[in-house]
Amino acid sequence: MDCVSLREIADEDLPIFFEQMTNPAACHMAAFTCKDPADHAAFLGWFTRVRGDPQIVARTVVCDGAVVGQILTYPREGRREICYWFGQAYWGRGVATAAIAAYLTRVSARPIYARAARDNVASIRVLEKSGFLLEGLDRGFANARGEEIDEVVMVLRA
Ligand SMILES: CC(C)(COP(=O)(O)OP(=O)(O)OC[C@H]1O[C@@H](n2cnc3c(N)ncnc32)[C@H](O)[C@@H]1OP(=O)(O)O)[C@@H](O)C(=O)NCCC(=O)NCCS
């Protein structure tokens, strides 16, 4: 996947992210979404925070000139966690795997933790391909499912 490059988030990326992050299939997959992904004011508030917080390293992922998704790491309960989200049109082509590999060469902090709904097979596979190992299981309320579900916790140590 040679096309993938990363850059800082730009204002013009936000409408694309909003569309990607309100996609019902993607929300179901990610499961642990914000309460209401369609709340545009909350979305803008989140990205204002993301772009202004020096502890959050967020990048737009571009492929062949198109904004295909985003990756970020942020502090959560004293640990650094990774999150990523890609447009459905780009799934299944190795874009996430290539983008995370590029991101991890630029962000050297370790360990990095990740969480995924236990049935988010694609995300768990991407993490495995990126060198993350299973750390344990957890259970939490998934806004996009309206119920508590199992999640996996994975970690990249080196
Ligand atoms: C999860 C997500 C990041 C995957 O992105 P992607 O670009 O499709 O990922 P890749 O193409 O790099 O790799 C996907 C891998 O999962 C595998 N996969 C996908 N669906 C699968 C399924 N149902 N069963 C088994 N394997 C599956 C693919 O075969 C591929 O593995 P392979 O290279 O060994 O064949 C993307 O679907 C997404 O952004 N989803 C919405 C948001 C989300 O879930 N974010 C993560 C929150 S934890």
Instruction: Give 122 Cα–ligand 1 centroid separation in angstroms.
Output: 3
Section 137-152 average pLDDT? 98
Q: CA-CA distances (angstroms) from residue 113 to 31, 34, 52?
A: 17, 19, 22
Task: Report the mean per-residue pLDDT for the chain.
Answer: 97
Instruction: Give 150 Cα–ligand 1 centroid separation in angstroms.
Output: 18
Q: How far apart are alpha carbons 52 and 61 in whole angstroms?
A: 19
**pLDDT 10s digits, 61-107:** 999 999 999 999 999 999 999 999 999 999 999 999 999 999 999 99
Confidence of residue 2 (pLDDT cuts 50, 70, 90): confident
Instruction: Give 105 Cα–ligand 1 centroid separation in angstroms.
Output: 20
**pLDDT 10s digits, 32-44:** 999 999 999 999 9
8 Å CB contact between 153 and 137: yes
Nearest CA to ligand 1 atom 25: 121
